[in-house]
Structure 1
Amino acid sequence: MSALLQTALNQLSRLRLTGVCVQGVRKVHTNCGPLSFQASSVLWTSPMKKKKKVDPQLLIAKEQKKKRRIEKQIRRLEKFSRKLKPVDEISGDIKLRKELEFRKRDRPVLTFEESERRALLQKEWTRYKYHQYGDECEAISRLILSQEKALEELRKESEELYQQAIQIDENLIPYECEGPVATPPIEDYKSPDGEYKDTTKKY
């Protein structure tokens, strides 16, 4: 078996030339054939970068600087956390705020009799509106009950008349509309990117 294997290796070996054996290929000399030289596979690598020596004190100082910057941001957020964003619409006119003292009026001092009269008038007005609301609710309830009773009696007489009676009357509240209130959009219109200035205030 070993003789057959050796014969196969001798036939397939690239280094096997006339008069040159495999054991003699370890050294380079003029007797070796050109097939004795082989190129190794390309590794496509580069030498490792040399590690830089960093001073530990510099690393500590860098960490301390980063920590101080974060603490400063936290203090700034805590300082303005309760401050609301100003609203220009409700800030008021500066001119009117300057004239506030001149425009202020002192409320008149009421006597005891006048304050009692106003309190009684307020109570009387409250009672009047309460009874008015109750009367209106009672009247609406009576109308709804009368309408339901009339519809039931009508349905007993004729189903067709009942279906016509429960239809919505479109002429009860007339409504008119003439055309759209705005220009309709243009189909497939690509708006150009115009120049603009961002006036948004940042706080």
Structure 2
Amino acid sequence: MLNVSVLRQFSKLSISAASSVLSTRNICTSAALQFRITDQLWAEPLKKKKKIDPAIIKAREDRRRKKLEKQIRRLEKNAQQLKPIDELEVPLHLIDQMSKRKRPPVQLTAEQVEARALLEKDWARYKRKEFMANIAQIDRIMSAQKRALDQLYEESEELYDEAVMPDLQLIPYTITGPVATPPIKNYDSPDGEYIDISKKWQN
């Protein structure tokens, strides 16, 4: 009997002590026993910074600044230089033959200069006369078209509306005419191979 009573009192004390401990540590929130743990931070002690001589730091900054200034000067020097185009460059053998190929300037007499000036004036008069004739012809055509439409409107408004409506069959208009060069008979066209021989330039 003594052992049973002692065990009951011990169990009551242990349960009360456990409940007090659990309530203070906030491990258990209900009757069931639940455990909670905090996040793992994996912290480590901070490394001590090595003390560097200020003169060494200043020398590094000076070298970095000089390197940047050198690059800036190089870019400013090459800023106005354009990429050369091989198709527009004059071959060297033609530059060597420039003295042979260069023609002396033509010396015109006063009569030749006056004849050329008169010819230019005659050509300007002819082109102006042609332009005015074209403008007058366009005006005549437009006025005749307007008179015809007005008379058609007086006769029948439905016919006028049909005449004014655009012809939708003429919109997808395609035409084939003479080309710059005539076609070559029995011409075997190449397969379209393309070899890029252009030079690569670095920016």
With normalisation by structure 2, the TM-score equals 0.60
Residues of 2 paired with 1:198 and 1:15: CA distance? Answer: 86
Match of 1:63 in 2: 61
Match of 1:125 in 2: 123
- Counterpart of 1:175 in structure 2: which amino acid? I
1:53 counterpart (41, 51, 54):
51
Identity of aligned residues (%): 37
How much has 1:49 moved relative to structure 2? Answer: 0.8
Residues of 2 paired with 1:132 and 1:198: CA distance? Answer: 49
CA deviations over 1:35-86 (Å, ceiling 9, x no partner): xxxxxx9763212212111111111011111111111122112212222232
Unaligned runs of 5+ in 1: 1-7, 17-40, 177-195
Match of 2:175 in 1: 175
Match of 2:73 in 1: 75
How much has 1:130 moved relative to structure 2? Answer: 1.8
Gap change, CA 1:130 and 1:80, over 3 Å in 2 = same
Pairs within 5 Å for 1:19-30: none
Q: Is 1:139–2:137 an aligned residue pair?
A: yes
Count how many residue pairs are aligned between Structure 1 and Structure 2. Answer: 153
Gap change, CA 1:56 and 1:198, over 3 Å in 2 = farther
Residues of 1 paired with 2:132 and 2:40: CA distance? Answer: 100
Gap change, CA 1:78 and 1:96, over 3 Å in 2 = same
Unaligned runs of 5+ in 2: 1-12, 22-38, 177-195
Residues of 1 paired with 2:40 and 2:142: CA distance? Answer: 97
Gap change, CA 1:117 and 1:160, over 3 Å in 2 = same
Deviates more, 1:158-167 or 1:118-127: 158-167
Residues of 2 paired with 1:89 and 1:62: CA distance? Answer: 47
Gap change, CA 1:160 and 1:118, over 3 Å in 2 = same
How large is the RMSD of aligned CA atoms in angstroms? 3.7
With normalisation by structure 1, the TM-score equals 0.60
Gap change, CA 1:14 and 1:158, over 3 Å in 2 = closer
Deviates more, 1:145-154 or 1:80-89: 80-89
Residues of 2 paired with 1:114 and 1:143: CA distance? Answer: 44
Match of 2:16 in 1: 11
